[in-house]
């Protein structure tokens, strides 16, 4: 496998991790916080009680781990590819967000919102047709 092909494969794999881990982390945080319910942060002893409720919830911890995974993949992808490629390519996550919100949170997604997500995904397709890296030393 050539260096260029390996580079592209690593970049696309990390973007795939970003597309899954980011939305999953956010949805898990949302699910955990909805499970906890409305929090009172005043008086100060209520803030401590709220913190204990938050950090003893499994969904919140899974969300945090997923978001850390996203962040690591994002940093690695940015070290290998241009920001102008990574950021638009990771926008496929909007579709994943809608699917997870529908399946995990029971949200209703309107046809107009689906159409907007489709436009974003088409833009990702256009961006994906370009070279992920335009700076630095050329790959063999």
Domain spans of the chain?
Answer: 3-128
What pTM, to 2 d.p., does this model score? 0.78
125 in the Ramachandran plot: left (φ > 0), alpha (ψ -120 to 50) or beta?
alpha
State the pLDDT at residue 1: 52
Q: Are 25 and 64 in contact (CB under 8 A)?
A: yes
> In angstroms, what CA-CA distances link 65 with 24, 91, 97, 132?
10, 21, 17, 27
State the pLDDT at residue 92: 87
Residue 113: is its pLDDT beyond 50? yes
State the pLDDT at residue 4: 61
Q: Which residue has the higher pLDDT, 114 or 124?
A: 114
Average of per-residue pLDDT values in the chain: 86
**pLDDT, tens only, 42-80:** 787 888 888 888 888 999 999 999 999 999 999 999 998
Place 6 in a pLDDT band, splitting at 50, 70 and 90: low
């Amino acid at each position: 496998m050539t260096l260029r092909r390996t580079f592209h494969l690593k970049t696309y794999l990390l973007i795939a991790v970003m597309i899954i881990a980011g939305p999953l982390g956010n949805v898990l945080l949302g699910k955990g916080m909805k499970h906890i319910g409305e929090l009172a942060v005043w008086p100060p002893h209520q803030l401590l009680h709220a913190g204990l409720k938050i950090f003893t919830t499994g969904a919140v911890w899974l969300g945090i781990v997923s978001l850390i995974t996203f962040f690591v993949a994002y940093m690695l992808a940015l070290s290998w590819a241009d920001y102008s490629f990574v950021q638009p390519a990771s926008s496929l996550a909007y579709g994943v967000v809608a699917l997870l919100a529908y399946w995990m949170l029971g949200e209703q997604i309107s046809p107009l919102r689906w159409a907007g997500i489709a436009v974003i995904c088409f833009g990702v397709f256009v961006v994906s047709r370009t070279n992920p890296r335009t700076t630095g030393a050329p790959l063999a």
